[in-house]
């Protein structure tokens, strides 16, 4: 099943504190398949795609989605770190909403913790040798 990254914003919002969010990130797994542009095509241009990772948080899916691009060889990176989609709404311990700029920093930090790059590379049949475990 493939889930377009933009669809994640239609998921029910999940209100959570930063410590709870960090715990949920440790449980995140790829959700559906990566959307890959250029897979199976001759390498005329760098490959690019979308990643959607999610975890169950108190009975609701909590997700992150972003676009990535091949930088070179078997190296992929976020296309635009300021364009990360998520249905998480972070609040302070007192319940005050965290500002959008700070939220984006936490979303990027979460992506950095995920093994999404190895997953993206391994999904590329013939693109790169699978990474050793």
| pLDDT digit string, tens, across residues 89-109 | 999 989 999 999 999 999 999
Q: How confident is the model at residue 33 (pLDDT cuts 50, 70, 90)?
A: low
For residue 11, count other CB atoms closer than 10 A to its CB: 18
- Name the DSSP class of 81: T
* pTM: predicted TM-score of the whole model, two decimal places: 0.83
**Cα 119 from Cα 133, distance rounded (Å):** 12
As beta bridge partners, residue 68 has 49, 78
Number of H helices and E strands in the chain, helices first, is 3, 8
Domains in the chain, please, with CATH? Answer: 5-122 (3.10.450.610)
């Amino acid at each position: 099943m493939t889930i377009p990254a933009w669809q994640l914003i239609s998921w029910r919002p999940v209100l959570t504190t930063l410590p709870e969010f960090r715990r949920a990130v440790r449980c995140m797994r790829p959700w559906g398949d990566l959307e890959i542009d250029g897979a199976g095509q001759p390498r005329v241009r760098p490959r690019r795609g979308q990643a959607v990772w999610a975890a169950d948080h108190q009975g609701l899916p909590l997700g992150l989605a972003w676009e990535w691009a091949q930088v070179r060889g078997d190296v992929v990176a976020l296309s635009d770190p300021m364009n990360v989609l998520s249905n998480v709404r972070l609040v302070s311990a007192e319940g005050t909403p965290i500002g959008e700029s700070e939220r984006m920093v936490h979303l990027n930090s979460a992506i950095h913790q995920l093994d999404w790059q190895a997953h993206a590379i391994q999904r590329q049949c013939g693109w790169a040798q699978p990474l050793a475990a």
